[in-house]
Structure 1
């Protein structure tokens, strides 16, 4: 159950020309990590003002940056652990900016008073729950499992539904509830996968020539 993350290879292929230019000019993958983070910050502002078209464009830029940093690193043969750290920090900053914008939009359009509205509360709960799949994946990676990404409700799905909430602010509580449920389900799916991977028996080494 990979959700919209299954479209990542297709999306990366659409960005092939950018990858070629980056390789030809020796651009650092960190440039694209920064582009993704800046796009996410801009998207947060667009969300706060209810501009869903600009939010859509900038969140697409965020996803493009997240795709390109790894793709360029692999194409140039410069993948490194520090790049992984920067990518994770950029993703977390992007989520924070997106939800901060949604909090402002909820206050402006539904609650009309800072800290007093139930819609804002739903967004804050959603923001916390959205971290659960990532914490689960990083915990598994720390124990030796692969870093899991994707659905059923991952980063791409979060971006998509936040754009919907930006376009129709009255749906912010419902969208927030969807993020809560989807994030918890994704966490459980990843936990099950990590448990299976970590509990898999190690392959038995056979002596040379033993068939």
Structure 2
């Protein structure tokens, strides 16, 4: 199940003019990694203020940066281990910024759903931010063992961005959305690990 990740080729085609211009002018893929992080930082501010429309647009820009760094590298024939490292760091920083903004919103507009004892809205966001790292750890572990670096859903980066936009628009539902992120992220990590185990048992990445 690839989730919204299946839309990545379509989204990249929509960015074709930017891609061609970047290749023509020799723009480094790292520029788009940085732009993605900056868009995530701006989105975090919009999320903290409860401005869901700017948050939607800025998170779309974050995803555009994440798409273009790899697309530009492939189009220019670049294969750099350090570029891989920067890409992964950019994704993780982008997630932390996004959830940080949501945590601030949870404090500004306390929710009552699924809130009991220490499980405040901001605590749910923290749990979601931690769980959101699980799919990436599963994929990196697979790559380190010689398997494929798996991406996509059922609850990957694109779904996380969509969930945060919904939570920004409906702050009262932040704990519910955060719980969805937790469950979806753990499920995604489990499915990636299961696929990796199958691939490695078959003798390769498949």
TM-score of the pair, normalised by structure 2 = 0.94
CA displacement at 1:201 relative to structure 2:
3.4
1:9-41, CA deviations, whole angstroms, 9 ceiling, x for partnerless residues?
000011111011001111111110000010011
User: 2:153 is matched with which residue?
Assistant: 151
Structure 1 segments of 4 or more deviating over 2 A? none
CA distance in 2, matches of 1:135, 1:117: 25
1:7-156 aligned at under 5 Å gives the runs: 7-110=7-110, 118-156=120-158
CA displacement at 1:119 relative to structure 2:
1.0
CA displacement at 1:79 relative to structure 2:
2.3
CA displacement at 1:78 relative to structure 2:
1.5
1:96-148, CA deviations, whole angstroms, 9 ceiling, x for partnerless residues?
0011001000000006xxxx761111111111111100001001111111111
C-alpha distance 171-193 of structure 1, shift in aligned 2 (>3 A) = same
1:41-93, CA deviations, whole angstroms, 9 ceiling, x for partnerless residues?
11111100101111111100100000000000111112211111000000000
Which blocks of at least 5 consecutive residues in structure 1 are unaligned? 203-211
CA distance in 1, matches of 2:181, 2:21: 37
C-alpha contact (below 8 Å) 1:70/1:79 kept by paired residues: no
CA distance in 1, matches of 2:29, 2:163: 28
TM-score of the pair, normalised by structure 1 = 0.92
State how many pairs are aligned: 198
Which blocks of at least 5 consecutive residues in structure 2 are unaligned? 112-117
User: 1:3 is matched with which residue?
Assistant: 3
User: 1:177 is matched with which residue?
Assistant: 179
